[in-house]
Structure 1
Amino acid sequence: MGEWKVEEMSLPALFEQARRIHLVASESGVDQETLRKGCEALQQCEEMISKLGLFSANETKDDISTSNLKYLTVPFYLAELTEKIAQDDRIQIIKISLAKLKEFISFCEAMELVPEEELETYTQGGPNSFADQRAKKIARFKRQRAAESKLLEIKERKERRGRSTKASALSTPVEAGEEDELDDDGEEEREAWVTTISLCLCKAFDLLEMLKKEEEMLLAIKEKQLQEGGKELSQVILDERTMRAEAWHRDSAARVHYTKPAQPITCATFAQDVLEGRAKVSQPHEHKHQPMIFGPKSLVGGSLTGERERMAAQVFQPGYRLPTMSIEEAGLREMEMMNKWQERNAKLLEEANSSWHKDNQKLRPAEEDEDEDDDAAQEKARAWDDWKDDNPRGAGNKKLTPCG
């Protein structure tokens, strides 16, 4: 497979490398070192997907973009590669693989990708009678064959279109803008990945049943060997409970990436750089939005030192007001304002419900209010009497009398 470093690869390149290893391991078989490299690459993919916040628990398959739809299969590929690793403690390998399969099925269930009949069987713990089991396996086998046929049809369709495109390109030159129309196969790619996820689900349910049976057999053999060896059974039970508790915590930590989304990267530009391999997730970044500058390329690209250059650059400006911050910064600022507003309201409510406020209300009796009203009425009556003394009745009508 060649030498390659997981830390220096982008998410798409890492996924394609791990998917190639999975394909080779499924068809022919690879050595253990390659299997471990594939598992390491898929684990790195999971970490990058979690840090980039590509998926959310409140999304469906229609909300996920076509370029990110393929990353839903990462837990399934990791489960299949992990199951093929040779190790002395086979039960531990089976437990890790089962955890990844359950994680994949649970997330596909949240994305509304699991068929109804499979979902009922999975939630109820499996069909009861042998007839129901046989019917479920036949229906699953038909879905698997249909998905494989559809993927083969899409592949042949793309190959035929590629051959016709090459033939037409040799006969007639392609004009500018026609290449995008020829390569516009986004719907076909989305259909292919949805079909691939459906095929992975069929294989995941089969592998889940097989690993459960294998785990039961290995546990029974281990228990029989321990009993024949004369070891203390109580210590074995305690060890088994400890292993189950550790496995439960490990599975919960793995599922938390999907049930509760990780803290996403707030800078869309940096997230795009990480996806395309120009930056690393662990690299520190500042999501600062630089305002766009319009004008001649010689002025925009260089440094505007003189007043004449600044005035020339301001000539070619848009007729609308440019943004001063990015959408992420505006959201963070609005969230900060809302947190301060909630804290202030909580503080005011706490002061209103405190004993100090209630005691102050009790210290003001009703007689004090009545005395204030009486004082105001007396002041008003005195002012009215003073005005009447200064302005006797009829003092302003002297000009209307005959002798006035």
Structure 2
Amino acid sequence: MEDVPLPVLFEQARKIHSTATESGADQELVRKGCEALKICEDMVSKLGLFSANETKDDISTTNLKYLLVPFYIAELTEKIAQSDRILILKASQEKLKEFISFCEAMELVPEEELETSIEGGSNSLVDRRAQKIARFKRQRAAESKLLEIKERKERRGRSSKAAALSTPVEAGEEDVLDDDVEEEREAWLTAISLAICKAFDLLEMLKKEEEILSAIKEKQSKDGDKEFSQDVLDDRTKRAEAWHRDAAVRARYTKPAEPITCATFAQDVLEGRAKVSQAHDHKHQPMIFGPASLVGGSLTSERERMAAQVFQPSFRLPTMSIEEAGLKEMEMMNKWQERNAKMMEEANSSWYKDNSKQRPSEDDDEDDDAAQDKARAWDDWKDDNPRGAGNKKLTPCG
């Protein structure tokens, strides 16, 4: 590897890093990547590509990518499997701190992270949560920007390739490569910003892991180096399961019995414990939501039932089963048919027909004679008193 040029070696180490972080930690591949990155680090140091007096604007676009070498070393070192895990954690933390301090000197670390590091970190849960959210937003923005740059570069490459195929190349004309320096610089600066966010998260995680392992090691040294054997763990598991089993048995007497469902009633009928003619109350058994390990298996203890009821859906659950809905709809249909039949019966009843076919009576004849006499008297009066009579004095020529 020492005879390989720095750009080629860096690309090989970068591919190993992406493969190890995406597809799992193959120890041989991880060690090979660490070795290649350390050689890259030595070559960068010997060539003097960076200086403490420079900032990000003073670094050339070609050398920007070599700022990620300590971060890649830290991520691959953390994946090395070794008996003494604390040494691995310390080595990885040292490289992360080196990467963050160098980026801080190059003015690449956000001001929020610098203020937090200067203050020594806030112990408030609200402040730590806000810092996590802001860091996560920066990480998502950097990832989306890198994806956008990659897609833009691929589109430009396809269009240039199509243009080269459609346009004939004249003799002596050289292919001009579209090396967009500004786009490449933007891509590497975005990748460094993404690495900074990941470095802070990884550093916090490694610190917590180191504290836990140190506490366990200290406790083991105080207890006389007594290690937890598999027999002790099995014994604890058996006692916990026995306790939960007894609690489930006790819960049967403390909680009311579950209503029988349609499926259980059908099973009882098939097995001869019940008859079809027996009245059965259709009840809807509520759906159980929770972790897949609990929902997929059988809930044998009260603890598992409570754990399965932790995660509930955001939508409203049905209040009745399909059988209950069918019975309700059938009942509504029966009432509607009964009401229609009653209305038809009233419409076709005898009293309605009798009233419609009833003949005029003597009282009606008397009323007709009186009305006729009144009309004749009114006609006689109009003949004796023509229209306008008695108003001659009111007319202008009267």
1:148 is aligned with what amino acid? E
**Alpha-carbon contact 2:100-2:109 (below 8 Å) kept:** yes
In the alignment, what sits opposite 1:194? 189
**1:28 aligned onto 2:62:** no
> Separation in 1 of the partners of 2:140 and 2:225?
50
Shift of 1:157: 0.3
Q: Normalising to structure 2: TM-score of the pair? A: 0.55
Give the SS at the match of 2:57: helix
Deviation at 1:127? 1.9
| Structural mapping, 1:5-404, within 5 Å | 6-174=1-169, 179-180=175-176, 182-229=177-224
Greater radius of gyration (CA)? 2
Identical aligned residues as a percent: 78
Higher relative contact order (CA closer than 8 Å, sequence separation 6+):
1
Residues 1:35 and 1:50: Cα distance change in structure 2 (over 3 Å): same
Q: CA deviation at 1:98?
A: 0.1
Superimposed CA distance per residue, residues 203-252 of structure 1 (whole angstroms, 9 cap, x where no aligned partner) = 00000000000000000000000000179xxxxxxxxxxxxxxxxxxxxx
* CA–CA distance in structure 2, aligned partners of residues 88 and 56 of structure 1: 38
Q: 1:56 to 1:23 in 2, by over 3 A?
A: same
Q: Is the 8 A contact 2:74 2:93 kept in 1?
A: yes
The residue identity in structure 1 corresponding to 2:165 is: L
Aligned partners of 2:221, 2:210: CA distance in 1, in Å?
16
The change in CA–CA distance for 1:192 and 1:178 in structure 2 (over 3 A counts) is: farther
Distance apart, 1:178 and its partner CA: 7.3
Q: Could you give the per-residue CA deviations for residues 70-123 of structure 1, whole angstroms, max 9, x where no partner exists? A: 000000000000000000000000000000000000000000000000111123
Letter of the aligned partner of 1:11 in structure 2?
A: L
- Identify the residue that residue 283 of structure 2 maps to in structure 1: none
Distance 2:30 2:3 in 1: 19
Q: Mark the CA change 1:171 to 1:113 in structure 2 (over 3 Å): closer, same or farther.
A: same
Equivalents in 2 of 1:15, 1:71: separation in Å?
A: 8
SS in 1 for 2:3: coil
Distance 2:131 2:182 in 1: 31
Tell whether the 8 Å contact from 2:20 to 2:29 is kept in structure 1 after alignment.
Answer: no
Q: Separation in 2 of the partners of 1:194 and 1:14?
A: 21
Query: Could you tell me how far apart the structure 1 residues matched to 2:25 and 2:90 are?
Result: 22
How far apart are residue 31 of structure 1 and its match? 1.4
Q: How many angstroms apart in 1 are the aligned matches of 2:175 and 2:86?
A: 53
What's the secondary structure of 1:155's corresponding residue?
A: helix
Quote the residue 1:336 is aligned against. none
* 1:137-190 deviation per Cα after TM superposition (whole angstroms, max 9, x unaligned): 00000000000000000000000000001100000035677743x513111000
Structure 1 partner of 2:374: none
Give the conservation status (yes or no) of the 8 Å contact 2:25–2:79. no
CA separation of 1:109 and 1:177: change in aligned 2, threshold 3 A: farther
Give the residue type in structure 1 aligned to 2:35: E
CA distance in 2, matches of 1:156, 1:62: 26
Deviation at 1:27, TM superposition (A): 1.1
For 1:119 and 1:62, the matched residues in 2 are separated by 19
Matches of 1:148 and 1:177 in 2, distance apart? 39
Distance 1:125 1:22 in 2: 31
Q: Deviations over 1:371-402 (max 9, x none)?
A: xxxxxxxxxxxxxxxxxxxxxxxxxxxxxxxx
Q: Which amino acid aligns with 1:112?
A: E
Equivalent position amino acid for 1:157 in 2: R
Superposition deviation, residue 69 in structure 1: 0.2
**In structure 2, what residue type is equivalent to 1:186?**
V
In the alignment, structure 1 segments of 5+ residues that lack a partner are 1-5, 232-404
| Amino acid of the structure 2 residue aligned with 1:31 | D
Amino acid at match of 1:202: C
Counterpart contact for 2:74–2:95, Cα < 8 Å: yes
Give the AA of the match of 2:29.
T
- Output the CA distance in 2 between the equivalents of 1:177 and 1:154: 29
Q: CA deviation at 1:8?
A: 2.0
Taking structure 1 as reference, are residues 59 and 174 closer, same or farther at Cα in structure 2, changes over 3 Å only? Answer: farther
C-alpha displacement at 1:29, in angstroms?
A: 1.5
| 2:34–2:76 contact (8 Å) kept in structure 1 | yes
Corresponding residue of 1:253? none
Tell me the distance in 2 between the aligned counterparts of 1:184 and 1:138: 36
The residue type paired with residue 215 of structure 1 is: E
Moved more, 209-218 or 8-17: 8-17
RMSD over equivalenced CA pairs, Å: 1.5
CA distance in 2, matches of 1:102, 1:82: 14
TM-score when scaled to structure 1? 0.54
One-letter amino acid matched to 2:98: E
1:1-35, Cα deviation, whole Å (9 max, x unpaired): xxxxx122111111111100110111112410110
